[in-house]
Amino acid sequence: MKPRVLSGIQPTGDLHIGNYLGALKNWVAMQHSYECVFCIVDLHAITVYQQPEELRAKILEIAALFLAAGIDPKVSSMVIQSAVPAHAELSWLLTCVTPVGWLYRMTQFKAKSEAQEAIGDGLLQYPVLMAADILLYQANVVPVGEDQAQHLELTRDIAQRFNSLYGDTFVMPATSLPMVGARVMGLDDPTKKMSKSATGSGHALALLDKPSDLKKKIMRATTDSNPHVDFETMGPGVDNLLSIFQAISGWTSDQMKNHFSGMRYGDLKKQVAEAVVSHLEPLQQSYQRIVSEPGYLAGVLAEGAARVRPIADSTVKLVKQRMGVYTE
């Protein structure tokens, strides 16, 4: 049996090239060596207020982008979290074995709750729901960004605590961080990771941006005061543009150095823009095809949910039995 991979993404903001090069592209590559479940976590999204119509549209947009990026629904299961009630059910069961002190310690909780006037309980429970996503499918490997590593550790702590209280039940999931170099930074501020929720118009390259907008943003990207590319002394902005180019082209470091050393920043940006635009063109075309085919996306999502529901239900049943709550 192939080891199982589970990952999730929140249906908020605009999916961008950092999500693509850092996550989606790896997921696509993993599909054939692992049994993959890719989850659109709408129940996580509502831990902070979402405009309902926007959320509904975002869920479908992300699903279509997954397919456009190369997720093959015949091989992998694409699942909307709220379509499989077992996520919420297991989350409650795990809440009951999770010390609240563990949750108050999470750095993401601290950061997110600072920005809220009234902190929703969902924000505190967020990592328990994430643990449920993972443990529900007995996932072996969880590919996430560095910012989620702490939540993964918590997931293992919860699993261990459950196993020691009620007997061996959960598989310990391993964290899989993306390779270095796949971390894309903001174009306006290359010291910050490119973010789906940042509002600055020059910050992120969205996967569905028009080619002219992609070009404009890249041409305006922050660089440094050097006159041209110097691999020894370059600042984070130039480094970021080169990393994007390298991740797209697959060039070696030597190829990169030979081609770009001494190039003026204007020319570097033009070449990066061309590479990005032509790389995203087929993805954007395939996105348009997917969303214009009536019923196709809904069918894929129904199929994904139907495929994973039996796995999810059997885990919940086992957990309930272990804990002594009623099962039929």
Residues at the interface with ligand TRP (CB under 6 A): 6-10, 41, 44, 130, 133-134, 142, 144, 148
Q: Catalytic residue among 112, 216, 270, 320, which?
A: 112
Cα distance between residue 126 and residue 275, in whole Å: 38
What is the nearest approach in angstroms of ligand TRP to the Cβ of residue 44?
5
For ligand TRP, give the closer residue by CB, 98 or 148: 148
Which residue among 110, 196, 210, 270 is the active-site one? 196
Q: Give the H/E segment covering residue 316.
A: helix 296-323
**Does the active-site annotation cover 217?**
no
Per DSSP, helices labelled H in 138-264 are 149-166, 211-219, 236-249, 253-260
CB of 4 or CB of 203, closer to ligand TRP: 4
**Distance of closest approach, residue 3 Cβ to ligand TRP, in angstroms:** 15
Q: Between residues 130 and 305, which has the closer beta carbon with respect to ligand TRP?
A: 130
Specify the DSSP element, H or E, that contains 142: strand 141-143
Active site residue 112: yes
Burial class (CB in 10 A: 0-12, 13-18, 19+), 224: middle
Closest approach of ligand TRP to the CB of residue 175, in Å:
9
Q: List C-alpha distances in Å: 284 to 148, 234, 241.
A: 28, 32, 21
Residue 118 DSSP one-character state:
S
Please say if 216 is a catalytic residue.
no
Task: Point out the catalytic residue in the list 193, 216, 270, 320.
Answer: 193
Number of alpha carbons in the 13 Å side-chain half-sphere of residue 117:
1
Question: In this complex, which beta carbon is closest to ligand TRP, that of residue 11 or of residue 237?
Answer: 11
Closest distance between ligand TRP and the C-beta of residue 259, in Å? 34
Cα angle value 318/316/322 (rounded, 5°): 35
Q: 110 in helix, strand or coil? A: helix
**Antiparallel, parallel or unpaired: β 141-143 and 77-80:** unpaired
> Minimal distance in Å, beta carbon 38 to ligand TRP?
9
- In the complex, least distance from residue 102 CB atom to ligand TRP, rounded to whole angstroms: 16
Measured from the CB atom, the residue of 14 and 265 that comes closer to ligand TRP is 14
- Rounded distance between C-alpha atoms, residue 298 and residue 295, angstroms: 5
Are residues 309 and 79 in contact, defined by beta-carbon separation less than 8 angstroms?
no
Q: Which is nearer to ligand TRP, 97 or 141 (CB)?
A: 141
Q: Which residue is nearest to ligand TRP (CB)?
A: 8
DSSP state of 21: I
Q: Which residue, 151 or 215, has its beta carbon nearer to ligand TRP?
A: 151
Q: How many CB atoms lie within 10 A of CB 171?
A: 16
* Degrees, nearest 5: CA angle 141-146-147: 115
188, 160 Cβ separation under 8 angstroms: no
Q: How far is the CB of 69 from ligand TRP (least distance, A)?
A: 16
How many C-beta neighbours within 10 Å does residue 281 have? 11
Catalytic positions, written as ranges: 112, 193, 196
